[in-house]
Structure 1
Amino acid sequence: MDHDDDLPPTDAAAALRLIEDERSATARQIDPDARLLYWPWGIAWLVGFGLFFLRFPPGEEELLRLPGWLPLTVLFALLLAAAAVQAVASVRAYGQVSGESARRGRWYGCAWALGPVSVYAGLGQVSEHLPHDLAALLWSATAVGLTGALHMAGGAIWLDRDLFRLGVWISVLNLVGVFAGPGWHALVVSVAGGGGMLVAGAVARRQQRQRQQP
């Protein structure tokens, strides 16, 4: 019986190719598709905050006749769907990973889960005492600001420049929208925030493919 295929490569170039093949296979297995991490959130912001701008634009007259409850309902539904997609993708990718990286991922996931809940609980006690336009601005600005901070934290944890830059971008555009005022904030977040996430997902996916090539 021929056992040559079971023997380690004796040629240095062949050994290097074997190492690269194994590295690429491992990267494809544990690295989730970046589009699943960015695009669901980008779509949620683009559509959800876009509806907010159309229903509650600056001024008195709405740009698109919609029920007042619809924009918030659509936004929360899309955000929940985005969170579910990201959770499934992360579990499939990192479920077999152990050690320090796994702990970082779990703790970072807890920050995403508990941070917004605790913040929104406080907002719920305050926003009911504000006019509708200011209450909407408070909710959206806090949510976007928290998202930017968590993205920067994730970039710092994993030394991911693209993730950190995305967090900076989200934080800056949130400031721009806040100073622009109610109505305009939703437009800025929808176009620049949602669009920025879609672009970031495409760039991250291209970099993944380059890393995963043998």
Structure 2
Amino acid sequence: MILDDDDLPPASPAETLRLIRQQQAETARHLSPDPRLVYWPWGVAWLVGFSLFFLRFGPDDRVFVNLPEWLPLTVLFVLLAAAGTLGAIGGARAYGQVTGDSSRRGQWYGIAWMLGFVTYGVTLGRVTDHLPDDLARLLWAAGAVGLTGVLHLAGGAIWLDRNLFRLGIWLTLINIVGVYAGPGWHALIVAVAGGGGMLVGGVIAWLRRGSGS
């Protein structure tokens, strides 16, 4: 019987190790969410949504584009809901193929996101009515970005994902800078650096995933 090259055993221990690592990388790619579904929808949501906030509620209450007051928040919530749905679909496709600890981590992490934002919304809803409008908008925005940054840091720590952890650091830093810059500027900083950072982070993660690094 004649054996094909694929049927022959590895020529050396080094070749065996290389094949094992190659298979591990291939398995990891199949069992991890597509980073485009993780980063890009959120990047677009932040870039568009917070840009509308900046145009309607600029620094010192300046109105760059006379949009209806309800429009920026409505657009942001719709885009965030769409981003969350796409992310859930990507995660379900990936983690639906595994059981055990990896599956539970994904499920519990999703629950942490949901409960975190429910708590955030309920708490700020009780507080912001007692603040001036510009500070109330800043608190809503900064709280959302801050919570997102911390959850990205937690996700990076859980899965030892450097890209996710670095993105969490980046979002936390730009949020701090935006808060110090003040209302209006915070929206611009989050839109460009936050939304843009997520888009760039998605590209980097996608390229690294394709190369197996």
- Fold shared per TM-score above 0.5: yes
Distance 2:24 2:7 in 1: 17
Query: Which residue pairs with 1:9 in the alignment?
Result: 8
1:35 and 1:202 in contact (8 A); partners too:
yes
> Percent identity, aligned pairs only?
60
Matches within 5 A, 1:20-169: 22-169=23-170
Equivalent in the alignment of 1:176? 177
Deviation at 1:26, TM superposition (A): 2.3
RMSD between aligned residues: 2.1
Amino acid corresponding to residue 148 of structure 1 in structure 2: G
| 8 Å CA contact retained: 1:55, 1:68 | yes
Q: Given residue 10 of structure 1, which amino acid in structure 2 is its aligned partner?
A: P
Q: Distance in 1 between matches of 2:195 and 2:123?
A: 26
Give the distance between the partners of 1:161 and 1:96, measured in 2 at CA: 23
- 2: CA distance between counterparts of 1:169 and 1:20? 31
Structure 2 distance, partners of 1:185, 1:64, is 17
Q: TM-score, normalised by structure 1?
A: 0.90
Unaligned runs of 5+ in 1: none
Distance in 1 separating the partners of 2:184 and 2:174: 14
The alignment's TM-score, normalised by the length of structure 2, stands at 0.91
Letter in 2 for 1:101: S
Deviations along 1:48-104, one digit per CA (max 9) or x if unpaired, are: 000000000012430011000000000000000000000000000110211211111
Q: After alignment, is 15-24 or 109-118 more displaced?
A: 15-24
Higher mean C-alpha displacement, 160-169 vs 24-33:
24-33
Closer, same or farther: CA 127–99 of 1 in aligned 2, 3 Å: same
| Distance in 2, Cα, partners of 1:25 & 1:154 | 21
